């Protein structure tokens, strides 16, 4: 079985730890499943791949609104979030994913864990709360100082060469500030050293800016937790070596299931429908 070249990202790493089979289905098994002419089984894998948990959708709304609201203002940001939310509400109510499996499909609704209207009501309330949390954090003060000219245009997800590995990271935004390049990320203590290290390499590869002039802002959309740090705190070569090692470990001979995580897995419908010995993993 050939699973292509070596790729690594924190999400890939996390999904592989969750279940190697889920990793295979997500990154390899769903290929071509977007086509109306694809086999129903392939379409099912693709549909499940594109589905997202509700709280990821809310995170996505914040990231997308932050990327589109420059110069930043509290009102402009709230309006952008609201517009994106309303668009998503329409997609969820119309079940657009039935026609186009690439459009918004919320896992909890798909698996009948919650009624769509109740989900939307709870989500609207949660977004309002997150906007209040943001307002009382130090982040708006930083964002209002970023001019359009300071902004770094990035192509998401950002691709970075790490030796033989193609690595990916997904900063919310990046901007120049008094000779420094700053990255805003969703705060996550587990992934922080990886994302910050990859962004240092990105700064070098794309903008020729050395790590001594790179800094980071981390913000948790849910709790409002906030953290600033500079690249000086990073052990860049050690982390890059770790990324290469981890990338190699994502390509095992067999993508064994981790049944412990089936109850919360996006692919549980597929794994329940298709007998294990008929998975394409074994026929590829
Ligand atoms: S349902 Fe279970 S075995 Fe199947 S991909 Fe998910 S975690 Fe792995």
Query: Whole-angstrom Cα distance, residue 82 to residue 181?
Result: 30
Q: What is the predicted pLDDT for the residue at 264?
A: 95
Give the C-alpha separation, 122 to 129, whole Å. 11
Spatial distance between the Cα atoms of 24 and 261, rounded to a whole number of angstroms: 15
Look-up of token digits 């067999």: 254
| Rounded Cα distance, 133 and 116, in Å | 25
What is the model's pLDDT at position 70?
82
Instruction: List strands edge to edge, sheet with 214-219.
Output: 173-177, 180-186, 214-219, 226-230
What spacing in Å lies between the alpha carbon of 91 and ligand 1's midpoint?
27
Sign of torsion over alpha carbons 151, 152, 154, 159 = negative
State which ligand 1 atom lies nearest to the alpha carbon of 271: 4
Residue/partner pairs of 41-50 with CB below 8 Å, 24 or more apart: 41/270, 41/274, 41/280, 43/101, 44/269, 44/270, 44/273, 45/267, 45/270, 46/101, 47/97, 47/101, 47/105, 48/266, 48/267, 48/269, 48/270, 49/25, 49/266, 50/97, 50/101, 50/102, 50/103, 50/105
Closest Cα to atom 7, ligand 1: which residue? Answer: 262
On the question of a cis peptide bond just before residue 99, with omega within 30 degrees of 0, the verdict is no
Among 51, 258, 282, residue to substitute to test ligand 1 (most atoms within 8 Å of Cβ): 258
Radius of gyration of the CA atoms of the chain, in A: 20
pLDDT of residue 2: 42
Closest residue by Cα to atom 1, ligand 1, is 268
- Regarding beta strands 7-8 and 158-162, do their DSSP bridges make them parallel or antiparallel, or are they unpaired? unpaired
- The pLDDT tens digits along the chain (284 residues) read 444 579 999 999 999 999 999 999 999 888 888 888 899 999 999 999 999 999 999 999 999 999 998 889 999 999 999 999 999 999 999 999 999 998 999 999 999 999 999 999 999 999 999 999 999 999 999 999 999 899 998 999 999 999 999 999 999 999 999 999 999 999 999 999 999 999 999 999 999 999 999 999 999 999 999 999 999 989 999 999 999 999 998 875 567 888 999 999 999 999 998 766 666 655 44
Residue nearest to atom 5 of ligand 1 (CA): 22
DSSP 188: -
DSSP symbols for 241-260? HHHHHHHHHT--SS----GG
DSSP 3-state assignment of 234? coil
Among the listed residues 28, 87, 31, 21, the one whose alpha carbon sits nearest the alpha carbon of residue 57 = 87
Ligand 1: list residues with CB < 6 Å: 19, 21-22, 25, 257-259, 261-262, 265, 267-268, 271
Residue 4 has a pLDDT of 53
Name the DSSP class of 150. Answer: G
Within 10 angstroms of residue 10's Cβ, the number of other Cβ atoms is: 20
Q: Give the C-alpha separation, 263 to 272, whole Å.
A: 11
Alpha carbons 253 and 145: distance in angstroms, whole number = 50
């Amino acid at each position: 079985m050939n699973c292509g070249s070596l790729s690594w990202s924190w999400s890939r790493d996390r999904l592989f730890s969750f279940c190697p089979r889920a990793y295979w289905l997500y990154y390899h098994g769903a290929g071509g499943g977007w086509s109306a002419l694809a086999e129903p089984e392939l379409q099912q894998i693709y549909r499940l791949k594109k589905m997202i948990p509700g709280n990821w959708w809310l995170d996505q709304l914040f990231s997308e609104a932050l990327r589109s609201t420059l110069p930043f203002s509290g009102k402009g940001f709230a309006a952008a979030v609201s517009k994106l939310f309303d668009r998503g509400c329409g997609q969820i109510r119309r079940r657009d994913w039935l026609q186009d499996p690439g459009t918004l499909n919320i896992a909890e609704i798909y698996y009948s864990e919650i009624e769509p209207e109740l989900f939307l009501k709870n989500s609207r309330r949660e977004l309002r709360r997150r906007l209040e949390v943001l307002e009382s954090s130090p982040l708006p003060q930083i964002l209002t100082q970023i001019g359009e000219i300071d902004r770094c245009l990035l192509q998401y997800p950002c691709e970075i060469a790490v030796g033989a590995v193609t690595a990916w990271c997904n900063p919310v935004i990046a901007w120049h500030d008094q000779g420094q390049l700053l990255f805003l990320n969703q705060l996550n203590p587990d992934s922080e050293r990886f994302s910050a290290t990859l962004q240092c390499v990105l700064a070098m590869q794309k903008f020729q800016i050395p790590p001594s002039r790179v800094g980071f802002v981390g913000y948790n959309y849910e709790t409002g937790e906030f953290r600033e740090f500079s690249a000086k705190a990073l052990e860049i070569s050690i982390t890059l070596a770790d990324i290469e090692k981890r990338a190699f470990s994502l390509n095992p001979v067999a993508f064994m299931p981790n049944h412990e995580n089936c109850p919360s897995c996006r692919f549980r419908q597929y794994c329940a429908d298709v007998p294990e010995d008929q998975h394409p993993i074994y026929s590829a």
